[in-house]
Structure 1
Amino acid sequence: MVLRTGGYTAGMASRINDEDIALVRERARIDEIVGSYVALRNAGGGSLKGLCPFHDEKTPSFQVTPSRGLFYCFGCGVGGDVITFLQKIDNLSFTEAVQTLADKVGVQLRIEDDGQPSPPPGQRVRLMAANTAAAEFFASALLTPEAIDARRMLTERGFDRAAAELFGVGYAPKDGRALHRHLNKAGFRDDELVRAGLIREHGGWDYFQGRVIWPIRDSANSVLGFGARRLYEDDRLPAKYINTPETVLYKKSRVLYGLDQARQNIGKKLQAVVMEGYTDVMSAHLAGVDTAVAVCGTAFGEDHARLLQRLMGNSDTTRGEIIFTFDGDRAGQAAALKVSRLDRAFTTQTYVAIEPSGMDPCDLRMAKGDAAVRELVARREPLYRFVMAHTIEGFDLDRADGRVSAVRAAASMLAAVRDRSLVDQYVRDLAQLVGMDVDEVRRVLSSAPRQSRGARQPPSRRVEAEPPPGELQVSEVTPAPNSQLPWPDPGDRNLDVERGTVKVMLQYPTLFDTQWDGVQPEDFTHPAYRAVFEAILATPYSAHDWAEAVAQATPDPIARQLEIALLVEQILREPDERYASAYAARLRLLTTMRQIADLKSRLQRTNPLNAEERYDTMFRRLIELETRRKQLLQDSLGLTE
């Protein structure tokens, strides 16, 4: 039996044996994995606490429960198991997270790719190790006498030795086999170096020769590949910049330079500044723009957009922003227009920042200082407005029909604005740009063809393959678009019994009888607690994977996240069967009391003389409910003992 978990490469789906995934979860101690990122302390009851790595806080609300293999933050609502923690903290796919953990705990994964050969177990880690060793070699080579031209180039761009070390900048010797020999001595085979894109398959020549080198890392600080800049006129490769070829690790459409430096700040600030080059990113970070990243040898695409949104929490919100910086020349303007056509891939607001002088951020920093780079980003304008200005350029605005045509051309763009509160301002901007009265522009827009004004289709949110069965997904407290469930307030005393009942059911299911001590879905007044219980009711008990099985039976993302919260939430005393049955009795008691109140109200409104039979039936029912109430009250006393 296998699980489909998302591929290593585009268009490819990887399948990992579910027994191997279970073994990884079993061997990878969540307290050790989380503890390598978060300082944890004993919180009692078998739980550990620390400051949440996913949001700023001063009082620890991040809890790890090793016995259940789960984590949960009661501050921001993020939670899951050891695999989802690694996915979230290091921005990995499910497959990558499982592979990383498997290599840590010594599990040999059985992986197959549909129609394609799969990397042997452990190969990814081996190639990462080779890349790390190569990065260290390049960095040390930058300090050699041969690299004087590389150091001069960096100095002329405003980067001293400390800046080069911060970003791991290095130099590839002109020798042509220096890296090959070095890595062979370090124990790496030629076939591994070819797969990593470090040497060429034919001849064994170093892939990079006589160039300045930038290591390209993922958000977990692992070296995936390299970018290299031409230095010498006699370089046999005419391209100014070259990158690592496509490998198991390096997919240019899925990597961003500077992500290792910017990852945490992008998540905290819900902002990403996309630049065009390595030196631009370095300049931005040194100037204080610590959310800067850059594409590597390709245009910004949908995969890049998904990657950044995943770092921002992948939430469907207008609070986040992606800012594109382009040169002020025609090429920069064309790049901005091209990005605008990708806007449907974003769920965040998009902006553009173009320096009027035409200088790139690196030149701007050298000419005018750090403040100028920060001001460039601060002066950003909405991408919609930028595109709108260029949309109307092709119309003769001196003619009335030209102005009307320009407004109509902008209608479809205005219909696509995500934040509807901005539309009115954009309409005013458009009126100013075309030289028309605002009300006249509105009339033209209202009469524009329906296809121009049609509602925008929601962007696709699929980042990768559907999560595999058994995975406890990370989710935010804010309901996902496909969820209609409200998040229950854990402090609502009126819901204490409902919360406590499902909490005990999730954590100690064997304390209840096979019928869950008579509890029914209608006993829950809050829809989220009811959804959790319905998943419990639909799940046959299994001691091995109870929590995962319940998660599989829970279609709603809010209910799944609530299950994680309840699984790690402490129970104030060691429960036994009497305690569990008392909770069930108290929950049923509350239902009975509501039924009694409703029945008494109906009895008061019923005339016993005109509706004698109906009145007698309700009265007999009231006696039955009162008898049940007394019994349930007695059965529920275990909660207060």
Structure 2
Amino acid sequence: MAGRIKDSDKEELKSRINIADVIGEYVKLKPAGGGSFKGLCPFHGEKSPSFQVTPSKQMFYCFGCQTGGDVFRFLELHEKMAFPEAVDMLAARIGYQLSYEEGASRENGERARVLEANTLTAEFFRLALSSAEAEPGRKLMSDRGFDAAALELFGVGWAPKGWNNLTDHLKGKGFTDQELITAGLASSGDRGIFDKFRGRVVWPIRDTTNQVVGFGARKIFEDDKGPKYLNSAETPVYHKSKVLYGLDLAKKDISRSQRVVVVEGYTDVMACHLAGVTTAVATCGTAFSEDHIQVLNRLLGNDPANPAEVIFNFDPDEAGQKAAMKAFGNSSKFNAQTFVAIGPDGLDPSDLRQQRGDEAVLQMIEAKRPLLEFAVDRSVMKFDLNSREGQVSATRAGAVILAGIADPIQRSVYEKYLSEITSVDRAAISSLVNEEVKKTRNSRVSNLAIPTPLVDEPEPDVAVGFEPVDLRDPTNRRERWLLEVATQLPELLDAVTRNRIFRIYFSASRHVAIAKVIQDESANASEKLIDRVVEKLADQPDLQQTFREIAMQQLPAGDDEGRAIYARGVIGSALEQTIELEKNYLLAARNRADASGDAETTAQIALKLMDLDRELMLIKSRRA
């Protein structure tokens, strides 16, 4: 039976790894004050950042979709991996040797085995590039302007021509036939398995954590009946609609410069990086998709004062033109302005660098044009603008493009542009664009459907257990503030005060339940309070989610001293209200004693009320 990773190892990993560093490789993070960072949530689409990472708590939390957890949980969700695999991944990141309970060694998960096989394969191909057999591959790359240092930088390798070179090598490392098929490194035939990549130049494809997830390979020999470029099939770690070649090298510069250049091939990425365009990436044998947009949006900010840039480079042929128009159709989904850059004489970046040098590549990128302008031009270029009928048709085609512009100022600018190139009056163009806008709006309205609720659909657990807390209610807000302070700064709330307040202060059922767990865990020790409460609420995910929100909520202060002042104010206010509640209880008890004629009890309660009044006056004087 598989062994369990020791808890001490998991805690040691979390203490050694900064959660912001890990998440920052997937999401562009900006300081949010108090040592926290914020960015666009990778788990749901959003335009304004509601995703927060707090290294001091080793937690992340999205206030938009309520997803949160520790660094392991982030990797589980983002990389679609099991918990042990997330631990393995982080351990490998820092070279930490995991140990297992009862001395058992845990069987590697499928994903981990694929990654291990890919790593060994990339090294096998890299070493094979120096063999005599690989001379045609080296010559191809040299002829395209890539020297040995460039090949080393990108890990370019060679897949030998034989049928079983790689499979024999990996089977010697302990991999089974099925594991190699699952990894997409081998295919199955009548005589068993055989190498998928043979007699080709190979590029390893890495994810943002620098792990090899797949391969792309170019045909060299005429007798190779396969496609010019052969890419990995879908595997547990490789999903072509979400992978961008070169992102492992480009991610930091993309985040820093807020610019990304999207090219069409592996050698184009290499040429751009070597020429100084270090933000270049490419899709891997597939069209640019919405998943790719989401990947890039996580690295690009959403600052209107400093807008990010996405620059597409397409071939000028018909296929390239269609790809550009498809990119235009998705351009509004970027947190960025979109542009297109086309090389002189139709040269792609690789050919351009080879023929005219690095500077020509840089100039091509800087000569970018707005993608919208390119789309308008392409929509009208098919018509004869020297004829009246051609001008009318071109105007109508251009109006359809302009109707999709949401920004009224930008639309006005392009109405003027369309008027200039078609010689049609601008007022007429504006009227035509408005008609297209109405058509689009009416079409959307007519396509709306009212969903039919499921019969016997159960109510969510929250309605049965703990009602949602309306934070517009002042009482609920004050309760939430206290829970935030008690969770994030437990050292400022002594046990006596905490016990006194928590006993009667909370009224919202959800707050009462969470306060009970905080109280129980605080009684043990305040160290790692957040982790222990999260674990305690594991079987109540709804409450756990609310607690994560409490733990991650930014306290309204800029530094440690400010947070301490704020916390003491919240605690003091809660204590005052607690004393008022205690007085109310005593007054009710005194009334009952009066009604029953119990003079002794009435007198005792009166003394206690006097004590509470004095305490309340003292607290208020200290806060004055």
The answer to whether the superposition gives a TM-score over 0.5 is yes
How much has 1:365 moved relative to structure 2? Answer: 0.8
**Which blocks of at least 5 consecutive residues in structure 1 are unaligned?**
1-19, 39-49, 73-77, 109-119, 458-468, 470-484, 486-494, 522-532, 590-626
Aligned pair partner of 2:140 in 131, 135, 153: 153
Distance 1:404 1:262 in 2: 45
Residues 69 and 81 in structure 1, CA contact (< 8 A), matched pair in contact too: yes
* Counterpart contact for 2:209–2:248, Cα < 8 Å: yes
Does the aligned pair in 1 maintain the 2:234–2:240 contact within 8 Å? yes
What SS is found at the alignment partner of 2:194? coil
* CA-CA distance at 1:541 after TM superposition: 3.5
Q: Aligned residue for 2:203?
A: 214
Any idea what the Cα deviations from partners look like across 1:319-376, whole Å, max 9, x if unmatched? 2332211112222112212222334543433222112411000011112211211222
CA RMSD of aligned residues (A): 5.1
Check the 8 A contact 2:300/2:335 in 1, yes or no. Answer: no
1:106 and 1:276, CA in 2 relative to 1: closer, same or farther beyond 3 A?
A: farther
1:152: Cα distance to partner? Answer: 0.8
Amino acid at match of 1:123: E
Is structure 2 residue 399 aligned with structure 1 residue 390?
no
1:322 aligned onto 2:310: yes
Question: Among 234, 246, 250, which residue is 2:223 paired with?
Answer: 234
SS at structure 2 position matched to 1:326: coil
Name the SS of the counterpart of 2:162 in structure 1.
coil
Residue aligning to 2:457: none
Deviation at 1:265, TM superposition (A): 1.9
TM-superposed deviation, 1:275: 0.9
> Structure 1 residues 195, 337: CA separation in 2 closer, same or farther (over 3 Å shift)?
same
CA distance in 1, matches of 2:398, 2:613: 67
Query: Is contact 1:337-1:387 (8 Å) kept?
Result: yes
Write out per-residue CA displacement over residues 256-287 of structure 1, whole angstroms, 9 at most, x where no aligned residue.
Answer: 11111112222223322111100000001111
Cα pair 1:70 1:564 within 8 Å, conserved: no
For 1:287, the equivalent position in structure 2 comes to: 275
Partners in 1 of 2:559 and 2:13 — Cα distance?
A: 19
Q: Partners in 1 of 2:15 and 2:309 — Cα distance?
A: 34
Q: Is 94-103 or 544-553 further displaced after alignment?
A: 544-553
CA distance in 1, matches of 2:17, 2:532: 20
1:199 aligns with 2:181: no
Corresponding residue SS for 2:288: coil
- Provide closer, same or farther for how the CA distance between residues 65 and 392 of structure 1 changes in structure 2, counting only shifts above 3 A: closer
Q: Does 1:30 align with 2:14?
A: yes
Assess if the C-alpha contact under 8 Å between 2:158 and 2:202 holds in 1: yes
Q: Distance in 2 between matches of 1:60 and 1:173?
A: 55
Instruction: Indicate the SS of the match to 2:380.
Output: helix
- The total of aligned residue pairs comes to 509
Q: Equivalents in 1 of 2:8, 2:181: separation in Å?
A: 29
2:553 counterpart residue number: 563
Matched residue type, 1:30:
K
2:71 pairs, out of 64, 78, 82, with 82
Distance 2:178 2:136 in 1: 32
- What amino acid maps onto 2:17 in structure 1? I
Instruction: Label 1:53 to 1:312 Cα distance change in 2 as closer, same or farther (>3 A).
Output: closer
Classify the secondary structure of the residue corresponding to 1:391. helix
Taking the TM superposition and a 5 Å limit, the aligned residue runs for 1:466-615 are 502-508=484-490, 512-513=498-499, 516=502, 536=511, 539=514, 541-542=516-517, 543=521, 546=533, 563=553, 570=560, 581-585=571-575
Task: Give, in angstroms, the shift of residue 219 of structure 1.
Answer: 0.6
C-alpha spacing 1:436/1:107, structure 2 compared with 1 (3 Å): farther
SS of residue matched to 1:220: coil
2:334 aligned with 1:346: yes
Structure 2 letter corresponding to 1:101: V
Which residue in 1 is equivalent to 2:258? 270
Partner deviation per Cα, 1:164-191 (whole Å, 9 max, x = no partner): 0000000011122221222222232222
1:414 and 2:402 are equivalent in the alignment: yes
Q: Distance in 2 between matches of 1:170 and 1:69?
A: 39
Q: Specify whether residues 501 and 452 from structure 1 end up closer, same or farther in structure 2 by C-alpha distance, changes over 3 A only.
A: closer
The answer (yes or no) to whether the contact 1:24–1:102 under 8 Å persists in 2 is no
**TM-score, length-scaled by structure 1:** 0.66
Of 294, 300, 318, the residue aligned with 1:306 is: 294
For residue 634 of structure 1, what is the aligned residue in structure 2? 618
Q: Distance in 1 between matches of 2:8 and 2:202?
A: 36
- 1:106 and 1:316 map into 2 onto residues whose CA distance is 49
Report what 2:111 is aligned to.
Answer: 124
Equivalent of residue 79 in structure 2, options 60, 80, 93: 93
In structure 1, distance between residues paired with 2:125 and 2:478: 60
The residue identity in structure 1 corresponding to 2:200 is: R
Q: Secondary structure at the match of 2:397?
A: helix
Q: 5 Å matches for 1:5-44?
A: 27=11, 29-34=13-18
Conserved? CA contact 2:403–2:434, under 8 Å: no
Q: Tell me: CA distance 1:631–1:212, structure 2 relative to 1, closer, same or farther (3 Å).
A: same
- Partners of 1:581 and 1:636 within 8 A in 2: no
The one-character-per-residue Cα deviations of 1:406-462 (angstroms, maximum 9, x if unpaired) are: 3343334323335554323222221222123434432433344612477999xxxxx
Change (3 A) 1:257 1:581: closer
- d(CA) in 2 for partners of 1:349, 1:361: 21
Task: Report the CA distance shift for 1:206/1:317 in structure 2 as closer, same or farther (over 3 A).
Answer: farther
Q: Greater relative contact order: 1 or 2 (C-alpha under 8 angstroms, separation 6 or more)?
A: 1
Q: 1:579 to 1:308 in 2, by over 3 A?
A: closer
Confirm or deny: 8 A CA contact 2:308 2:337 kept in the other structure: yes
Q: Percent identity?
A: 36
CA distance in 1 between counterparts of 2:257 and 2:478 reads 35
Please state whether the residue corresponding to 1:273 is helix, strand or coil. strand
> What does residue 366 of structure 1 align with?
354
Amino acid of the structure 1 residue aligned with 2:498: F
Distance 1:86 1:177, change over 3 A: same
Maintained 8 Å contact 1:415/1:454: no
SS of the residue corresponding to residue 134 of structure 2 reads helix
Kept in 1, the 8 Å contact 2:244–2:282? The answer is yes
The 8 Å contact of residues 317 and 347 in structure 1, kept in 2 or not, is answered as no
Given that 1:535 and 1:554 are in contact with CA atoms closer than 8 Å, whether structure 2 keeps it comes out as no
Whole-angstrom CA distance in 2 between matches of 1:275 and 1:324: 6
Partner of 1:190: 177
**Structure 2: tracts of 5 or more residues without a match:** 38-52, 62-66, 92-97, 102-106, 446-459, 461-470, 472-476, 522-530, 580-610
Match of 2:161 in 1: 174
Offset at 1:502?
3.5
Whichever residue aligns with residue 413 of structure 2, its letter is Q
Q: Which has the higher helix share?
A: 2
User: Matched residues in 2 for 1:289 and 1:97: separation?
Assistant: 37
Task: For 1:25 and 1:316, locate their aligned partners in 2 and report how far apart those are by CA, in whole Å.
Answer: 44
How far residue 390 of structure 1 moved from its aligned partner, in angstroms, is 1.6
Deviations 1:357-411 (A, max 9, x none): 1100001111221121122222222222211112223445345565344334333
Secondary structure of the 1:200 match is: strand
Over 3 Å counting, the alpha-carbon distance change for 1:399 and 1:317 in structure 2 is same
Instruction: Give the Cα separation in 2 of the matches to 1:636 and 1:378.
Output: 65
Structure 1 distance, partners of 2:429, 2:546, is: 43
What SS does the corresponding residue of 1:311 show, helix, strand or coil? Answer: coil
CA distance in 1, matches of 2:411, 2:437: 18
Code of the residue aligned with 2:572 in structure 1: it is A
Instruction: Describe the SS at the equivalent of 2:227.
Output: coil
1:355 paired with 2:311, answer no
Residues 100 and 125, structure 1, Cα contact 8 Å, conserved in 2 = no
Change (3 A) 1:437 1:314: closer
CA distance in 2 between counterparts of 1:97 and 1:312 reads: 28
One-letter code aligned to 1:155: S
CA distance in 2, matches of 1:331, 1:206: 32
Question: Which residue identity is paired with 1:99?
Answer: E
In the superposition, relative to structure 1, how do residues 536 and 389 fare at CA in structure 2: closer, same or farther (>3 Å)? Answer: farther
